[in-house]
């Protein structure tokens, strides 16, 4: 199955659309490495927070990036994330990091640094890479691009259920709208589907329905001439 090993599948979409679940299911089914680029922005944001760097200060963030190493190790249960050699897989999910990741990711020098790292990670193919700009910027020649979308309300509802209903639903929805706004309106590589992406709107679909649509797309791509 050398075709499977070399495939590059890009999955983009807003927060809470189900990208991580779909990416990990595709990775398991087709023997691909699952690379979650949001985790890289999160790891950098964690370091910025720890160093008390203003997430709006482009110059200070650029200097910090120059002395930062971020590694993703795909495992069957998701990505293990190393920040300067330390495992930060759990810490990058904290609310303060989620907020900071959304802020630090708007800066062009930070995006350029991340894009270069991500291109190196995926260079040999055999990957499903998930994020916001994979099909538009990181791998514009990806073999398959999926843009996974859902209404803010549906995504807020899912996050609310996943959080064990621990935070008020209206706060989750407000944060989703704020992150959407930043992701879609930033100057460099705003979140949008690539012209050749297949858009799956999961608002009224179950997870299994989304996964099976995505699997069918990969199967069709593998069957098509290179």
Q: Which residues here bind ligand DC, judged by CB under 6 A?
A: 15, 37-38, 41-42, 101-102, 105, 131-133, 179, 183
The 10 Å CB-count burial string (b at 16+, else e) for 202-212 is: beebeeeebbe
Q: Residue 120 or residue 223: which is nearer to ligand DC going by CB?
A: 120
Provide CB contacts within 8 A for 45, sequence distance 6+.
Answer: 55, 92, 97, 100, 101, 103, 104, 105
- CB closer to ligand DC, 133 vs 149: 133
Bridge partners of residue 172, in order along the sequence = none
Rounded Cα–Cα distance for residues 56 and 67 (Å):
18
CB of 130 to ligand DC, least distance (A): 7
Largest CA distance in the chain: 51
Comparing CB distances to ligand DC, the nearer of 42 and 145 is: 42
Minimum CB–partner distance for residue 179 and ligand DC (Å): 5
- To ligand DC, the closest distance from the beta carbon of 204 in angstroms equals 22
- At 52, phi and psi to the nearest 5? 55, 40
The nearer residue to ligand DC, 29 or 182, going by C-beta atoms, is 182
Give me the least distance between CB of 105 and ligand DC, in Å please: 4
Contacts of 60 (CB under 8 A, 6+ apart): 53, 54
Q: Map residue 189 onto helix, strand or coil.
A: coil
Q: How far apart are CA 118 and CA 83, in angstroms?
A: 15
Q: Smallest gap, in angstroms, from Cβ of residue 6 to ligand DC?
A: 22
Residue 101 vs 218, nearer CB to ligand DC = 101
Exposure string of 94-133, with b = 16+ CB inside 10 Å and e = fewer, is eeebbebbbbbbbbeebbebbbebbeebbeebbbbbbbbb
Rounded to a whole number of angstroms, the minimum distance from the CB of residue 225 to ligand DC is: 29
By C-beta, is 25 or 179 nearer to ligand DC? 179
């Amino acid at each position: 199955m050398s075709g499977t090993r070399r495939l590059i599948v890009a999955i983009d979409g807003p927060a809470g659309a189900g990208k991580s679940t779909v990416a990990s299911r595709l990775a398991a089914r087709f023997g691909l490495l699952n690379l979650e680029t949001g985790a890289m922005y999160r790891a950098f944001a964690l370091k910025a927070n720890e160093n008390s760097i203003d997430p709006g200060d482009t110059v200070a963030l650029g200097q910090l990036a120059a002395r930062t190493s971020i590694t993703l190790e795909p495992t069957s249960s998701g990505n293990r994330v190393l920040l300067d050699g330390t495992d930060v897989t759990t810490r990058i999910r904290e609310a303060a990091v989620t907020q900071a990741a959304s802020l630090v990711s708007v800066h062009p020098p930070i995006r350029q640094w991340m894009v270069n790292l991500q291109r190196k990670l995926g260079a040999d193919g055999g990957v499903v890479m998930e994020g916001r700009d994979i099909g538009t910027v990181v791998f514009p020649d990806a073999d398959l691009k999926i843009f996974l979308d859902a209404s803010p309300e549906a995504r807020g509802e899912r996050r609310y259920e996943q959080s064990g209903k621990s935070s008020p639903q209206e706060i989750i929805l407000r944060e989703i709208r704020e992150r959407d706004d930043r992701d879609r309106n930033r100057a460099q590589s705003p979140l949008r589907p690539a012209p050749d992406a297949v858009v799956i709107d999961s608002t009224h679909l179950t997870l299994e329905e989304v996964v099976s649509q995505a699997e069918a797309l990969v199967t069709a791509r593998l069957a098509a001439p290179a």
